[in-house]
């Protein structure tokens, strides 16, 4: 895949400007300029042309001339022959505005026809191995709103990166070791023993998990094994309970995420890092590199040597490595053992403080911290009837992913969670998300797709099918609505690249809202089915291209593209 239509035209404009500069210098009208970088941008205001450049303003200082004079000179020396430039002028403080011949956009039709469901893809990533690790909810219970947002974000980001030419792996990190599993075990044990010894006879741990799911697991376990584990020693009992409940929970996570249209390539177990000895090995590296010391019976990492405010414990006084130690081992595994070029972690805002520590630790064990990018997802506020929802009515606990999907369609959830940048707080309006109206952006976009399908079906029933791009009178496309649609269609490949580079799937939702808006305008202004057969044909083709592009973007977001609504 070579450069996109937009990249081509920018190159053409850049080239023309540089030649004009050279010509002006040869004629002695402008002096030599050091390292000129030509910036071509799309003006906000359509009256300012299709593209514009600030070159004259950048040059002005070195030339000791007014920007507008430099611009005048450049335009006079500009050779537009063989380009798509139809007109250019000086405007504002010294901008050079380019007005292009409308035909520059026509090739997008053939491009979309040729690439179809792959239109928008690029090889920018050159097949580099990227991992997106996301959700990674504690397997001790169900998923909450943060997981729901992180899930939608991570999944769409992974897909976006794939479209941009990266080799992407989706991974879920199962925290099945360490402290919180210990808590999980103690809670299960207490509930189990309470069944046989009575609630008063067995104290429930202070910091235990209170949830009904724990009691449920203990009950189910008792159904199968009866009182077999009442008399055994506590370690054996807890191990059996955890093995049972954990697998149930992981299976439930898989199922719930699958329903949410998220399928992970790898479910990576924290416990495997202990079994393989990688945690111990990682701690050895810290020691060998001279970044550790012992204090109060614990082994510390001298994080302050890496710009941190505090040192970190690697091994507790009780001999158990910290989550932090295991996490460093995990990232060594990702980057060294499995050779990912880039590891992207999606964490909740409450893990913010962990980012710098993690990067410092990677440096300490000899890994380039640049290999790790962390995306922080801000927490979600649910809004219902204009008020903040804090608790789930059903469980009395935090609202879970399943609670949300009871209220809202999967399409709406995935769309809404990708509407905003991840680092901004998100208000999720439950009433809006279920509303079937123009206020709801998901429906707005899907409606555009359905409308197009409806036109295609109508004309098809009259014997008019979508024509081949080669047999079209493309020059009949000239209405502003038509040209703007073409321009937006042409942007997709560039938009995918930009979104992938900045890790912002929200650019895709915005893109398809924009595209849908342009289509709706076109629909009102231009009739597809009309007297002129050639015009019908070319507009029908345009509709089909919009349909294809909407479908492609929605596919990237794993949102359905209905044919009728």
Partner RNA sequence: GUGCCUGUAGCUCAGUUGGAUAGAGCAACUGCCUUCUAAGCAGUAGGUCCUGGGUUCGAAUCCCCGCAGGCACGCCA
Q: How far apart are CA 536 and CA 518, in angstroms?
A: 18
Could you say whether residue 67 binds RNA (CB under 7 A)?
yes
Residue nearer to RNA on the CB measure, 52 or 73: 52
Indicate the pairing of strand 129-133 with strand 342-348. Answer: parallel
Residue nearer to RNA on the CB measure, 118 or 349: 349
- Minimum CB separation of residue 225 from RNA in Å reads 27
One residue of 15, 103, 502, 532 binding RNA per CB under 7 A: 502
Residue nearer to RNA on the CB measure, 222 or 537: 537
Residue nearer to RNA on the CB measure, 230 or 376: 376
3-state helix, strand, coil in the chain (%, to 5): 55, 15, 35
- Minimum CB separation of residue 394 from RNA in Å reads 24
Could you say whether residue 295 binds RNA (CB under 7 A)?
yes
Residue nearer to RNA on the CB measure, 277 or 353: 353
One residue of 91, 230, 398, 476 binding RNA per CB under 7 A: 91
- Minimum CB separation of residue 131 from RNA in Å reads 19
- Window 138 to 157, contacts with RNA (CB under 7 A): 138
One residue of 87, 425, 471, 473 binding RNA per CB under 7 A: 425
Could you say whether residue 434 binds RNA (CB under 7 A)?
no
One residue of 523, 535, 555, 560 binding RNA per CB under 7 A: 523
Return the exposure string of 443-480: e unless at least 16 CB atoms fall within 10 Å of the residue's CB, then b: bbbbbbbbbbbebbeebeeeebebbebeebebeebeee
One residue of 261, 316, 338, 397 binding RNA per CB under 7 A: 316
Q: How far apart are CA 553 and CA 142, in angstroms?
A: 30
Could you say whether residue 354 binds RNA (CB under 7 A)?
yes
Could you say whether residue 323 binds RNA (CB under 7 A)?
yes
Indicate the pairing of strand 312-315 with strand 298-301. Answer: antiparallel
One residue of 10, 17, 49, 283 binding RNA per CB under 7 A: 49
Could you say whether residue 298 binds RNA (CB under 7 A)?
yes
Return the exposure string of 163-200: e unless at least 16 CB atoms fall within 10 Å of the residue's CB, then b: bbbbebbbbbbbbbbbebbeebbbbbbbbbbbbeeeee
Indicate the pairing of strand 292-295 with strand 298-301. Answer: antiparallel
One residue of 3, 7, 15, 45 binding RNA per CB under 7 A: 45
Residue nearer to RNA on the CB measure, 111 or 515: 515
Contact, 434 vs 384, CB < 8 A?
no
One residue of 31, 103, 179, 288 binding RNA per CB under 7 A: 179
Could you say whether residue 420 binds RNA (CB under 7 A)?
yes
Contact region with RNA (CB under 7 A), list: 21-29, 224-232, 238-246, 306-314: 306-314
One residue of 139, 142, 150, 178 binding RNA per CB under 7 A: 178
In the three-class reduction of DSSP (H, G, I as helix; E, B as strand; rest coil), residue 192 is classed as helix
Could you say whether residue 302 binds RNA (CB under 7 A)?
no
Q: How far apart are CA 134 and CA 160, in angstroms?
A: 15
- The DSSP H or E segment spanning 169 is strand 167-174
Contact region with RNA (CB under 7 A), list: 219-227, 367-375, 464-472, 513-521: 513-521
One residue of 1, 18, 93, 212 binding RNA per CB under 7 A: 93
Q: Which tokens in the block code for residue 227?
A: 């009182």
Could you say whether residue 426 binds RNA (CB under 7 A)?
yes
- Minimum CB separation of residue 1 from RNA in Å reads 21
Residue nearer to RNA on the CB measure, 112 or 516: 516
How many CB atoms lie under 10 A from the CB of residue 347? 19
Burial (Cβ within 10 Å: 0-12, 13-18, ≥19) of residue 203: exposed
Sole residue written with tokens 């009259």 = 462
375-414 footprint of RNA as x/- string (CB under 7 A): ----x-----------------------------------
Q: Which tokens in the block code for residue 176?
A: 């099945």
HSE-CB at 203 with a 13 A cutoff on CA atoms is 3
Q: Which tokens in the block code for residue 109?
A: 């039709």
Contact, 422 vs 517, CB < 8 A?
no
Could you say whether residue 370 binds RNA (CB under 7 A)?
no
- Minimum CB separation of residue 267 from RNA in Å reads 16
Query: CB within 8 A of 207, min separation 6: which ones?
Result: 183
One residue of 288, 353, 468, 473 binding RNA per CB under 7 A: 353
Task: Compute the residue count for the chain.
Answer: 565
Helices first, then strands: H and E counts in the chain:
19, 15
Could you say whether residue 310 binds RNA (CB under 7 A)?
yes
Could you say whether residue 122 binds RNA (CB under 7 A)?
no
- Minimum CB separation of residue 364 from RNA in Å reads 17
Could you say whether residue 107 binds RNA (CB under 7 A)?
no
Query: CB within 8 A of 3, min separation 6: which ones?
Result: 11
- Window 439 to 468, contacts with RNA (CB under 7 A): 439, 441, 443-444, 447, 450-451, 453-455, 458
- The DSSP H or E segment spanning 288 is helix 278-288
Contact, 152 vs 417, CB < 8 A?
yes
One residue of 14, 392, 521, 560 binding RNA per CB under 7 A: 521
């Amino acid at each position: 895949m070579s450069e996109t239509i937009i990249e081509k035209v920018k190159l053409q404009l850049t080239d023309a400007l540089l030649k004009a500069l050279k010509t002006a210098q040869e004629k002695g009208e402008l002096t030599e300029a050091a390292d000129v970088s030509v910036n071509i941008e799309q003006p906000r205001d359509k009256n300012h042309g299709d593209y514009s450049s600030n070159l004259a303003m950048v040059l002005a200082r070195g030339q000791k001339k007014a920007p507008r004079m430099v611009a005048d000179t450049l335009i006079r020396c500009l050779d537009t022959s063989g380009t798509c430039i139809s007109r250019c002028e000086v405007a504002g403080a010294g901008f050079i505005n380019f007005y292009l011949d409308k035909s520059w956009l026509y090739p997008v039709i053939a491009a979309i026809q040729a690439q179809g469901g792959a239109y928008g893809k690029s090889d920018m990533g050159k097949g580099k191995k990227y991992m997106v690790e996301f959700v990674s909810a504690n397997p001790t219970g169900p998923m909450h709103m943060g997981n729901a947002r992180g899930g939608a974000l991570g999944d769409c980001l992974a897909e976006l990166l794939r479209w941009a030419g990266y080799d992407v792996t989706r991974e879920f990190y199962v925290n099945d070791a360490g402290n919180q599993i210990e808590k999980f075990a103690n809670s299960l044990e207490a509930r189990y023993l309470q069944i046989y010894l009575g609630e008063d006879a067995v104290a429930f741990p202070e910091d235990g998990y209170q949830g009904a799911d724990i009691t449920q697991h203990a009950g189910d376990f008792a159904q199968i094994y009866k009182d077999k584990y009442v008399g055994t020693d506590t370690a054996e009992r807890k191990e059996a309970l955890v093995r049972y409940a954990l697998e149930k929970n992981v299976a439930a996570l898989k199922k719930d995420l699958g329903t949410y249209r998220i399928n992970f390539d790898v479910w990576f177990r924290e416990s495997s890092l202990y079994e393989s000895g990688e945690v111990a090995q990682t701690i050895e590296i810290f020691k060998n590199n001279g970044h550790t010391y012992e204090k109060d019976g614990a082994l510390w990492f001298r994080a302050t040597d890496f710009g941190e405010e505090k040192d970190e414990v690697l091994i507790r006084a009780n001999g158990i490595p910290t989550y932090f130690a295991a996490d460093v081992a995990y990232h060594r595994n990702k980057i060294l053992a499995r050779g990912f070029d880039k590891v992207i972690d999606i964490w909740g805002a409450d893990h913010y403080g962990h980012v710098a520590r993690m990067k410092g630790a990677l440096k300490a064990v000899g890994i380039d911290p640049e290999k790790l990018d962390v995306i922080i997802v801000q927490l979600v506020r649910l809004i219902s009837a204009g008020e903040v929802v804090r608790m789930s009515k059903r469980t009395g606990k935090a609202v879970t992913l399943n609670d949300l999907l009871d209220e809202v369609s999967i399409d709406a959830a995935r769309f809404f969670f990708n509407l905003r940048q991840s680092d901004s707080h998100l208000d999720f309006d439950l009433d809006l998300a279920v509303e079937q109206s123009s206020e709801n952006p998901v429906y707005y976009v899907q409606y555009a797709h359905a409308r197009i399908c409806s036109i295609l079906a109508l004309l098809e029933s009259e014997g008019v099918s979508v024509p081949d791009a080669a047999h079209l009178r493309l020059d009949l496309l000239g209405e502003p609505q038509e040209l703007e649609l073409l321009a937006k269609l042409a942007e997709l490949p560039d938009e995918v690249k930009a979104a992938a580079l900045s890790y912002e799937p929200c650019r895709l939702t915005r893109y398809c809202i924009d595209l849908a808006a342009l289509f709706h305008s076109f629909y009102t202004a231009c009739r597809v089915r009309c007297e002129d057969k050639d015009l019908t044909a070319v507009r029908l083709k345009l509709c089909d291209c919009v349909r294809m592009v909407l479908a492609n973007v929605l596919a990237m977001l794993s949102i359905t593209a209905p044919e009728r609504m």
